[in-house]
């Protein structure tokens, strides 16, 4: 795969803080894609990575133009471009679907974010989410709410739209050893239940218990 | 009984499974809104009476009517919001031009919402980098093969593929085309993927 990319190896990654090889970039894309797909909530925004992938795709397309028509290499590289584009599209689609599904909560989270904390929405996603909210509110007002009694003309979106279910179960594979992960807190009936997670072990757990480990990269959702 | 019409419109929508969009039940909504108006006005007069004449026995009735009002509001917004979700799915299924038979089932405000939605989506996709952005409504399935055999189901006119060749899509003609070019046409029902 890195053939097509190494034809123009200097492209795309120059000027980045930590230069990644194209293979590493695609690896990161696939990890982000799987995490986003299986996580019940919207994960941190990785738009820089997305932009790098777009750049790589453009480079690959350009290289492909230079290959002699009918050369077998061209089909293989074409497939590779298609695969990468599929993963990127699927990643962005997952995010967009979650943004639409949880739009008031996503916006609230971003608005109450402290400066310096990682953002969950790219500027473009933020604009999209705001437009989605405005569009939906305008629609509901125009069709029904404005015809209702005065005290019922608004709907609290934060209450009306369900929040992501952080207690849903997810499959994960451990990348960095973790100790004392709290699975069940201590209650009157039971002692607290903690586990140690060994590298390369796979588990099925409540998302809530391991959410911070997903964002730190210590576990990979599968 | 109050709120019956509200439940009825929800049931009607729920009956149409598979994301289909039935016709907009304007009449149903209107009836629910009228019931809400009547309930509210009765409550207004009862509240005034309770205040001025100290008739506190009216309060349970007032509370009951208020609950019905809230339920009606909730049912109506649920009905409308569920329709929006189905309409949103249409953009991903059919592209930015909806078939006329579906458009007939939408009220004017829904069409407006759809137009705004597709504009937002287009702006977002254009911003994704590169010259024209990335159309994420394409590539819905992982690519299996480069070229696919397709049959044309209706006349679609000329179609240009990447290397400049122009193909004439006439009804019943068969072609061997790049998969990524055909996706949207297959979803729209213009082409049919022939699997041997």
Subunit contact A132:B120, Cβ cutoff 8 A? yes
Q: How far apart are CA A74 and CA B163, in angstroms?
A: 13
Residue A168 near residue A154 (C-beta atoms within 8 A) = no
Q: How far apart are CA B81 and CA A27, in angstroms?
A: 38
Task: Check pLDDT > 70 for residue A141.
Answer: yes
- The whole-number average pLDDT for the span A149-162 is 91
Task: Check pLDDT > 50 for residue B106.
Answer: yes
Has residue B102 been placed in a domain? yes
- The whole-number average pLDDT for the span A75-104 is 91
What pLDDT does residue B194 have?
81
Which of B29, B124, B129 minimises the CB distance to A144?
B29
Q: How far apart are CA A61 and CA A64, in angstroms?
A: 5
* Pair (B104, B181) in one structural domain: no
What pLDDT, in 10s, does the model give residues A26-36?
999 999 999 99
Subunit contact A124:B73, Cβ cutoff 8 A? no
Residue B12 near residue B32 (C-beta atoms within 8 A) = no
State whether residue A153 sits within 8 Å of chain B by CB.
no
- The whole-number average pLDDT for the span B148-155 is 85
Please state, rounded to an integer, the average pLDDT across all residues of chain A: 86
Of A85, A86, A109, residue with least CA distance to A99 = A109
Subunit contact A88:B146, Cβ cutoff 8 A? no
What is the 3-state secondary structure of A84-103?
HHHHHHHHHHHHHHHHHHCH
Has residue B133 been placed in a domain? no
Q: Do domains A22-162 and A165-221 have the same CATH topology?
A: no
Backbone angles phi, psi at A174, to 5 degrees: -90, 130
Task: Check pLDDT > 80 for residue A38.
Answer: yes
* Pair (B73, B36) in one structural domain: yes
What pLDDT does residue A127 have?
95
- The whole-number average pLDDT for the span B133-153 is 82
ipTM comes to 0.84
Domain C-terminal end among B99, B127, B155: B127
CA dihedral A102, A107, A109, A112 (to 10 degrees): -160
What pLDDT does residue A4 have?
45
- The whole-number average pLDDT for the span B109-124 is 95
What are the chain B neighbours of A82 within 8 Å (beta carbons)? 139, 143, 146, 179-180
- The whole-number average pLDDT for the span B37-58 is 90
What pLDDT, in 10s, does the model give residues B171-189?
888 888 877 777 778 877 8
What pLDDT does residue B146 have?
73
Contacts of A46-49 with CB under 8 Å at 24 or more apart are A47/A122, A47/A124, A47/A125, A49/A25
Domain C-terminal end among B98, B127, B156: B127
Backbone angles phi, psi at A118, to 5 degrees: -65, 145
Q: What is the pTM of this model?
A: 0.84
Residue A96 near residue A132 (C-beta atoms within 8 A) = no
* Pair (B118, B37) in one structural domain: yes
Minimum mean pLDDT range among A48-52, A176-180, A202-206, B43-47? A176-180
Structure tokens at B69: 């009002």
Cβ-count burial of B137 within 10 angstroms (0-12 exposed, 13-18 middle, 19+ buried)?
Answer: buried
Cα B47 from chain centre:
40
Q: How far apart are CA B176 and CA B160, in angstroms?
A: 13
Distance from CA of A70 to the nearest CA of B (A): 12
Under DSSP, is residue A135 helix (H, G, I), strand (E, B) or coil? helix
Task: Check pLDDT > 50 for residue A5.
Answer: no
Task: Check pLDDT > 60 for residue A52.
Answer: yes
Taking one residue from A and the other from B, the number of pairs with CB-CB distance under 8 angstroms is 104
Region label for A15, one of left (φ > 0), alpha (ψ between -120 and 50) or beta (otherwise) = left
Subunit contact B128:A92, Cβ cutoff 8 A? yes
- As for how many domains chain B has, the answer is 2
Q: For A165-221, which CATH class?
A: alpha beta
Q: Which option is the CATH number for A22-162: 3.40.718.10, 3.40.50.720, 1.20.58.1030, 1.10.3720.10?
A: 1.20.58.1030
- Give bridge partners of residue A194 from the DSSP assignment: A182
Of B91, B186, B86, residue with least CA distance to B141 = B186
Higher pLDDT: B160 or A206? It is A206
- The whole-number average pLDDT for the span B54-74 is 92
* Pair (B122, B154) in one structural domain: no
Under DSSP, is residue A25 helix (H, G, I), strand (E, B) or coil? helix
Subunit contact B77:A148, Cβ cutoff 8 A? no
What pLDDT does residue A14 have?
44
What are the chain B neighbours of A83 within 8 Å (beta carbons)? 142-143
* Pair (B117, B155) in one structural domain: no
Has residue B142 been placed in a domain? no
- Chain B contact probe: residue of A149, A157, A158, A160 with most B CBs at under 10 A: A149
* Pair (B13, B68) in one structural domain: yes
Ranges of H-type helices in B25-178: 26-53, 59-94, 100-103, 108-126
Region label for B134, one of left (φ > 0), alpha (ψ between -120 and 50) or beta (otherwise) = beta
Sketch the domain layout of chain A as residue ranges.
22-162, 165-221
Domain hosting residue B90, numbered range: 4-127
CA-CA-CA-CA torsion sign (A195, A201, A203, A205): positive
What pLDDT does residue B166 have?
81
What pLDDT does residue A166 have?
93
Subunit contact A83:B84, Cβ cutoff 8 A? no
Minimum mean pLDDT range among A72-81, B36-45, B116-125? A72-81
Subunit contact A86:B143, Cβ cutoff 8 A? yes
* Pair (B122, B185) in one structural domain: no
Higher pLDDT: B122 or A74? It is B122
Backbone angles phi, psi at A204, to 5 degrees: -120, 115
- The whole-number average pLDDT for the span B149-170 is 80
Distance from CA of A50 to the nearest CA of B (A): 8
Q: How far apart are CA B180 and CA B193, in angstroms?
A: 12
Q: If pLDDT is split at 50, 70 and 90, which confidence band does B159 have?
A: confident
What pLDDT does residue A136 have?
95
* Pair (B33, B122) in one structural domain: yes
Has residue B138 been placed in a domain? no
What CATH code is carried by the domain that includes residue B184? 3.40.5
What pLDDT does residue A89 have?
94
Please state, rounded to an integer, the average pLDDT across all residues of chain B: 88
* Helix, strand, coil in percent for chain A, rounding step 5: 55, 10, 35
What pLDDT does residue B113 have?
95
- The whole-number average pLDDT for the span B105-115 is 94
């Amino acid at each position: 795969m890195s053939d097509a990319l190494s034809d123009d190896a200097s492209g795309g990654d120059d000027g980045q803080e930590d230069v990644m090889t194209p293979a590493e970039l695609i690896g990161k894309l696939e990890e982000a894609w799987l995490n986003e797909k299986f996580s019940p909530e919207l994960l941190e925004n990785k738009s820089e990575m997305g932009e790098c992938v777009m750049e790589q795709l453009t480079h690959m397309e350009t290289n492909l133009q230079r290959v002699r028509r009918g050369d077998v290499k061209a089909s293989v590289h074409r497939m590779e471009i298609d695969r990468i584009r599929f993963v990127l599209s699927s990643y962005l689609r997952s995010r967009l679907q979650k943004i639409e599904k949880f739009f008031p909560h996503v916006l609230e989270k971003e608005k109450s974010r402290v400066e310096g904390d990682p953002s969950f929405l790219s500027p473009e996603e933020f604009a999209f989410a705001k437009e989605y909210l405005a569009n939906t509110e305008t629609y509901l007002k125009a069709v029904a709410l404005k015809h209702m009694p005065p005290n019922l003309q608004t709907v609290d979106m934060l209450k009306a739209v369900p929040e992501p279910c952080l207690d849903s179960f997810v499959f994960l594979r451990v990348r960095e050893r973790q100790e004392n992960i709290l699975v069940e807190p201590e209650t009157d009936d039971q002692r607290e239940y903690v586990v140690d997670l060994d590298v390369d072990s796979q588990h099925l757990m409540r998302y809530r218990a391991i959410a911070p480990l997903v964002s730190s990269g210590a576990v990979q959702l599968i | 009984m109050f709120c019956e019409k509200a439940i009825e419109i929800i049931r009607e929508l729920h009956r149409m499974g598979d994301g289909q969009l039935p016709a907009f039940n304007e009449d149903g909504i209107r009836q629910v809104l009228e019931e809400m108006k009547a309930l509210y006005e009765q409550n207004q007069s009862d509240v005034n009476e309770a205040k001025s004449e100290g008739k506190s026995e009216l309060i349970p009735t007032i509370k009951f009517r208020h609950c019905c009002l809230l339920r009606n509001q909730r049912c109506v917004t649920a009905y409308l919001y569920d329709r929006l979700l189905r309409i949103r799915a249409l953009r991903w299924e059919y592209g930015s031009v909806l078939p006329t038979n579906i458009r007939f089932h939408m009220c004017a405000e829904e069409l407006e919402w759809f137009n705004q939605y597709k504009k937002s989506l287009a702006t977002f996709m254009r911003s994704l980098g590169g010259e024209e952005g990335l159309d994420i409504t394409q590539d819905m399935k992982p690519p299996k093969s480069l070229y696919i055999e397709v049959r044309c189901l209706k006349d679609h006119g000329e179609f240009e593929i990447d290397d400049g060749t122009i193909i004439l899509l006439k009804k019943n003609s068969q072609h061997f085309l790049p998969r990524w070019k055909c996706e949207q046409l297959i979803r729209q029902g213009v082409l049919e993927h022939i699997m041997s």
